[in-house]
Structure 1
Amino acid sequence: MAARVWLPSVWNEKKGTDEMTDKNMLLRPVWEGGQVFRETFAMVGDGEPCSAPFLLEPEKVIVIESYDKSCTFDLGKDCYVEDGRLVLTQDSRMPHTGWNSFYYDSFEEAKEGQKSNAMDLDFGPVATTDGKFLNLNAIGNPEMITRWQAAVTYETREKWTGYRPVSRIARLPRLYGKWKRKEKVRIVLYGDSISCGCDCSGLYGLEPKQPQWSELLMESLQDFYGVPIEFINTSVGGVDTEWAIENAWERAASYQPDLVLLGFGMNDRCVGEEYRKKTKRLMERIREKAPETEFVLIATSLPNPLSETEPHYFCAHQHEYAGSLRLLCGQGVVLADVQGVQREVMKRKRYIDLTGNLLNHPNDYLARIQAQVLDTVLKP
Structure 2
Amino acid sequence: MDYKKISDIDNLLTPFWDDNGYAYEESFLPLLKEGQTADEDLVVSLLYDACEIISVTTATRLEVMEQGKDYFLRDGKLVIPASSAIRRMMWDEYHIVGEKEAQAVFGFTGGGKIFFGEGDTMHSRQYLVTYKHCKAWDGYVPAVEASKLPKTKARLKNGEGFTFCWYGDSITTGANSSGTIGSEPFIPMFPELVTIKLQEKYGCDINYINNAMGGATSQWGVDNFDRLYNGLKPDLMFIGYGMNDGNLDPVEVVKNIKTIVKKTLEISPDCEFLICATTVPNVLAAGFFGLQDKHQPYLKALCDELGDRAALVPITSVHLSLLSKKNFYDMSGNNVNHPNDFLARAHAQTILAQII
Instruction: Give the TM-score normalised by the residue count of structure 2.
Output: 0.92
Closer, same or farther: CA 273–369 of 1 in aligned 2, 3 Å: same
CA contact under 8 A between 1:200 and 1:367: conserved in structure 2?
Answer: yes
1:78 corresponds to: 70
| Residue 29 (structure 1) aligned to one of 6, 10, 15 | 15
Give 1:102's match in structure 2, choosing from 80, 86, 94: 94
SS in 2 for 1:305: coil
Tell me the alpha carbon deviations over residues 56-83 of structure 1, each in whole angstroms, 9 at most, x when there is no partner: 0101111111111111112211112234
Q: 1:83 to 1:271 in 2, by over 3 A?
A: farther
Q: Does 1:283 align with 2:247?
A: no
For the 8 Å contact 1:240–1:264, the answer to whether it is kept is yes
Give yes or no for the alignment of 1:319 onto 2:290.
no
2:110 corresponds, among 109, 127, 130, to: 130
**Contact in 2 for aligned 1:26/1:37 (Cα 8 Å):** yes
Alpha-carbon distance between aligned partners in 2 of 1:103 and 1:283, rounded to the nearest angstrom: 42
- Aligned-partner SS, 1:219: helix
Percent identical pairs in the alignment equals 29
Report the 3-state secondary structure (helix = DSSP H, G, I; strand = E; otherwise coil) of the residue aligned with 2:244.
coil
**8 Å Cα contact 1:170-1:176 kept in structure 2:** no
Stretches of structure 2 that go unaligned for 5 or more consecutive residues are none
Q: What does 1:41-56 correspond to in 2, within 5 Å?
A: 41-45=28-32, 46-47=36-37, 48-56=40-48
Q: Using the alignment, how far apart are the partners of 2:15 and 2:229 within structure 1? A: 29
SS in 1 for 2:209: strand
> Are 2:50 and 2:77, in contact at CA under 8 Å, matched by a contact in 1?
no
Which moves more between the two structures, 39-48 or 364-373?
Answer: 39-48
Change (3 A) 1:253 1:260: farther
Displacement of 1:273 in angstroms is 2.2
Counterpart code for 2:293: H
1:296 maps to which of 254, 274, 278: 274
Note the C-alpha offset of 1:331. Answer: 1.8
Q: Distance in 2 between matches of 1:181 and 1:334?
A: 21
Quick check: 83-92 or 356-365, which moved more?
83-92
Question: Structure 1: which 5+ residue stretches go unaligned?
Answer: 12-18, 115-124
Alignment of 1:241-280 (within 5 A): 241-252=218-229, 254-269=231-246, 270-280=248-258
Aligned to 1:363: 340
Indicate the residue corresponding to 1:193 in structure 2: 170
The number of aligned residues is 346
Deviation by residue 1:106-157 (Cα, 9 ceiling, x = unmatched): 5x643x214xxxxxxxxxx432223231233x12x2x222222110000111
Q: Secondary structure at the match of 2:276?
A: strand
Read off the aligned partner of 2:292 and give its amino acid letter.
Q
* Deviation at residue 84 of structure 1 after TM alignment: 4.3
Whether 2:162 is the aligned partner of 1:165: answer no
| Counterparts of residues 6-25 of structure 1 (less than 5 Å) | 6=2, 10-11=4-5, 20=7, 22-25=8-11
Note the C-alpha offset of 1:348: 1.3
- Give the corresponding residue for 1:15: none
Q: Secondary structure at the match of 1:62?
A: strand
Per the alignment, residue 205 of structure 2 pairs with 228
1:53–1:84 CA contact under 8 A, matched in 2: no
Q: Aligned pair 1:113/2:91, yes or no?
A: no
Cα shift readout 1:303-351 (whole Å, capped 9, x = no counterpart): 11112x4xxx311111112111000112201101112111111111000
Distance in 1, matches of 2:270 and 2:225, equals 15
- The answer to whether the 8 A contact 1:35-1:153 is kept is yes
TM-fit CA distance, 1:166 = 4.1
Instruction: Let me know the Cα RMSD of the aligned residues.
Output: 1.8
Opposite residue 24 of structure 1, the aligned amino acid is: D
Partner amino acid, structure 1, of 2:92: N
Q: How does 1:336-347 map to 2 (within 5 A)?
A: 336-347=313-324
Cα distance in structure 2, aligned partners of 1:201 and 1:305: 24
